[in-house]
Amino acid sequence: MTKQSIINIEEIPKVIVKTSEDMVKAAEVLSRLNKYMDGLVEEREKVTKPLNEALKAERARFKPTEDKLSEAIAWVRREMSRYETERQLLINKGEEAAAKKVAAGKISLEDAVAVAEKGSGGASVLATSSGTVKFRTDKVLRIVNAGKVPRKYLIVDEKVVLEVLKGGGVVLGCVLDVVQVPINRR
């Protein structure tokens, strides 16, 4: 890229096509802009290509170990989550049962509190020599009957629908629009 070929970005004309002459001018502007872009990309790649190749090699070197560690971390997290979720369900059931007994007059409020405190047994924060673990309560979606999910919550997979339509298939509610896209050869 030479000094003379540098384009002042602020001076790029705004092209409006209303006539066939405007179309010719637009084609000229498009070709010049694309040639400039080609040179810019070429200059950028002289610098970034070696860097990207080195980055790719280093990522490949660490990937097997990262994959194994990620799998182990996910396993331990799932197991801890499963255990703590089950533990919290049991605690909640015990608290509900104690509340019913208090309401029925079978035990005193003090006894119910003592049972709840005894039942909560585990720590909400686990501290070890390597670090600590806390539990956060999240609400996670679980679909129990996909057929009953209202339509407004369904998302169209546009890529799949496009492939079906291009292959001659039919997808109700969808059509292929034909548009003209300029392709610039330089």
Structurally, how many domains does the chain consist of? 1
Orientation angle between helical segments 109-119 and 20-103, nearest 10 degrees: 130
User: What is the C-alpha to C-alpha distance for residues 76 and 71, in angstroms, rounded to an integer?
Assistant: 9
| pLDDT tens sequence across 92-106 | 888 888 888 888 988
When pLDDT is cut at 50, 70 and 90, the band that residue 19 belongs to is very high
- Enclosing domain of residue 20: 8-166
Looking at the domain assignment, is residue 1 inside a domain?
no
pLDDT (tens digit per residue) in 151-172: 889 999 999 999 999 999 999 9
What is the mean pLDDT of the segment spanning 109-134?
Answer: 77
Which of 124 and 126 is assigned the larger pLDDT? 126
Classify residue 179: in a domain, yes or no.
no
Between residues 39 and 120, the one the model is more confident about: 39
| Average pLDDT in the chain | 88
In a domain, residue 172? The reply is: no
Tell me the pLDDT tens digit for each residue of 53-73. 999 999 999 999 999 999 999
CA distance 177 to 184: 22
Please check whether residue 122 is in contact with residue 87, taking contact to mean a CB–CB distance below 8 angstroms. Answer: yes
What pTM was computed for the model? 0.58
* Mean pLDDT along residues 35-39: 92
Question: Comparing C-alpha atoms, which of 75, 95, 73 is closest to residue 83?
Answer: 75
Query: Would residue 184 count as lying in a domain?
Result: no
Please check whether residue 174 lies inside any domain of the structure: no
pLDDT at 110: 84
